Amino acid sequence: MKIITGRVTRSLTVKNVAAIVASLLISACSVLPAREPVDLFQLPASSISSNQGSTIPGGLRLLTPDTSDALSGSRLLILDNNIFQAWPASRWAAPLPQLWRDWLLDAFWRDGRFGSLSTDSTVLQAERSINGMMRAMHTENIDGRMIAVIRFDAQLVNTSGRQIIAARRFESREPLNGSSANASVVALGVAADRLARELIDWAVTESSR
């Protein structure tokens, strides 16, 4: 009888402990704050249209750019007095370097003068590549005005010899029409479109030399 009693006691103890643990977990879950809704933004599609110029042979590979830690994530940033802040409850749909690379790929396709395009995620054969450093892609408070700023240090590289064909800094700015995350994304889209036109023309010119 003592053995049976001992077994029953242990069984009840385990059940009691399990019930207590379950109760604590339920209580903990009930006090956790609800997740704040987050808006995911994409950069507006480029308005670049097909260019009737001659096609550049050899292919072009777009590489994911290097950047600072601040710009390597997916937050929409504001630079104010040299301090980065983030638009609340707002994110890019992808990490910023990848978002920029994929957006540029679409802009190059729309232009059409490079007939063969790829990215470093596919590593297809290409005679040239564009890589570089993303210095800025955020909103800045400049003399009390909110301005969207994109700054990209581009390098056009011969992939076979790993030689830099040309290098240039591109910068584009666009004032915000409003004071929201959406207004920031719209202005960044306009600035990106302007920068992409200059970047593509430059890449075509340098590749044709």
Number of independent structural domains in the chain: 2
* CA atoms of 104 and 208, how far apart (whole Å): 20
Do 1 and 53 lie in one domain? The reply is no
Do 50 and 98 lie in one domain? The reply is yes
Closest to 106 in 3D by CA, of 31, 67, 49: 49
Do 75 and 27 lie in one domain? The reply is no
**What pLDDT does 206 receive?**
96
* Model confidence at 86: pLDDT above 50: yes
Do 26 and 118 lie in one domain? The reply is no
Do 9 and 73 lie in one domain? The reply is no
Q: What is the pTM of this model?
A: 0.82
Do 17 and 58 lie in one domain? The reply is no
**What pLDDT does 8 receive?**
37
Average pLDDT over the chain, rounded to an integer: 87
Do 78 and 140 lie in one domain? The reply is yes
Structural domain boundaries enclosing 13: 1-32
**What pLDDT does 37 receive?**
85
Do 129 and 58 lie in one domain? The reply is yes
12 pLDDT tier (thresholds 50, 70, 90): very low
Do 82 and 12 lie in one domain? The reply is no
Query: Checking phi first, is residue 81 left (phi over 0); if not, alpha (psi -120 to 50) or beta?
Result: left
Give the CA radius of gyration of the chain.
Answer: 26
* Model confidence at 195: pLDDT above 50: yes
